[in-house]
Structure 1
Amino acid sequence: MAPSHGRLPGLSRIRPYPGAFRAAAGVRSDELFPLRPGETVALTGGGTASLWSERLRLEGAEAVAAYTEGPLTGVPAVTRHAYGEGTTWYRATRPDPVTLAALLTRIRTEAGVEPVRTAPDGVKVVRRRSPSADYLFRIDHGGAGGEVTVAADAVELLTGRPTPGAVTPGPGEIAMVREPRPS
């Protein structure tokens, strides 16, 4: 018997997703709809999604985005659910990069989390912590250049030079900065 509407054989024997997290997520996913390579489905808000889609049933969550085409038209694709002292978000598909970035910004903003550093497109800034110092890695993937402000008493580890308040690697370059942690 061939699968219909993307149904995976044997899925009916699997517990509904998201399993043990159903109460926290406030949703029940009872059927997967895999998408073919290169196939996308439209989402409310103008984005698209690829790879897979799920048929969700809301069990307390609110729909944030829904499918606008295909067999799941009108079904939630992204949900938000207040649970305990927090909020659970559930994605029933893989949004395109722009849509995912906007979703993650919304989640971060609603959680009250502000970025430590901002960087131009193509520049990645990551902080790692140890008991004695913070390590700031700045990688310019896109040749954008630009300044990233760091502590005045920091040291750029690749050159060993102190950074007088900022480090400005050139396009395509890397900087690794050690920032002592306050005592």
Structure 2
Amino acid sequence: SLYLIDDEGAANLTGFAERGGTLAVGFHSGMVDANCHVRLGGYPGAFRETLGVRTDELFPLLPDERVRLSDGGTGTLWSERLRLEGAQAVTSYEDGPLAGVPAITRNAHGSGTAWYLATHPDPATLAALLDRIRTEAGVERVREAPEGVEVARRRGPDADYLFLINHTDRDAHIPVSPEATELLSGKPTTGSVTVPAGEVAVVREPR
């Protein structure tokens, strides 16, 4: 949720979608400018036209309050009365004062796509949605890894560098090149590296 954003930052993001990128925007975004002045014309402010939606009423949820979603999930923390202005509804609210109102939308913008999440989906629903967005955008996984293990890759002139962060309470085994080296320990690998619970590994994979 990018509540405060200046005009340049908003143009950078919306232009990215217009040029063929995929933009996913969370609720309560683009509401105010760099001076914390509310953007006029309806919410979500700076992103309204790119997302193809307009919100005219906000419905924050109580800490223990949940709304059912049409995809079988639930939303917490936030909801809003959304009107489609070019976007397509992907998921709607199933109950409460906003039953039937879109909760998650998808909009074609330029040669790209802009998604809007007008609520906070439960973790499994959010993970499935982000996986769908990633797949439709043609983005491949850096490396197959257990849930809760973060993998980032940086490319050098003659090797790739994998940064593996294990956020779980159990050891994780990640496949790597047989010629790879784990740089923090200096040890070569044999086709996989074990990242202990709560720990980090950095792997150099020669190309």
Please, which moves more after superposition, 139-148 or 149-158? 139-148
Match of residue 50 from structure 2:
24
Tell me how far apart the structure 1 counterparts of residues 154 and 90 of structure 2 sit (CA, whole Å).
32
Match of residue 109 from structure 1:
135
> SS where residue 127 of structure 1 aligns?
strand
Tell me how far apart the structure 1 counterparts of residues 63 and 197 of structure 2 sit (CA, whole Å).
34
Tell me how far apart the structure 1 counterparts of residues 157 and 128 of structure 2 sit (CA, whole Å).
33
Structure 2 unaligned spans of 5+: 1-37
Tell me how far apart the structure 1 counterparts of residues 101 and 181 of structure 2 sit (CA, whole Å).
52
Tell me how far apart the structure 2 counterparts of residues 13 and 72 of structure 1 sit (CA, whole Å).
24
Please, which moves more after superposition, 139-148 or 21-30? 139-148
| Larger relative contact order (Cα-Cα within 8 Å, sequence gap ≥ 6) | 2
Provide the TM-score with structure 2 as the length reference. Answer: 0.73
Alignment of 1:29-178 (within 5 A): 29-129=55-155, 133-178=159-204
Q: How many residues align?
A: 170
1:89-119 Cα shifts (integer Å, max 9, x gaps): 0011111111100110111111111212111
Tell me how far apart the structure 1 counterparts of residues 131 and 119 of structure 2 sit (CA, whole Å).
18
Q: CA contact under 8 A between 2:39 and 2:45: conserved in structure 1? A: no
Match of residue 5 from structure 1:
none
Tell me how far apart the structure 2 counterparts of residues 115 and 98 of structure 1 sit (CA, whole Å).
18
Amino acid at match of 1:54: E
Q: CA contact under 8 A between 2:54 and 2:82: conserved in structure 1? A: yes
Displacement, 1:147?
2.8
Bigger Rg, which one: 1
Provide the TM-score with structure 1 as the length reference. Answer: 0.81
Structure 1 unaligned spans of 5+: 1-11
Please, which moves more after superposition, 98-107 or 152-161? 152-161
Q: CA contact under 8 A between 2:180 and 2:205: conserved in structure 1? A: yes
Tell me how far apart the structure 2 counterparts of residues 172 and 92 of structure 1 sit (CA, whole Å).
33
Displacement, 1:127?
2.5
Distance 1:147-1:69 versus aligned 2 partners, 3 A rule: same
Tell me how far apart the structure 1 counterparts of residues 117 and 103 of structure 2 sit (CA, whole Å).
6
Percent identity over the alignment?
64
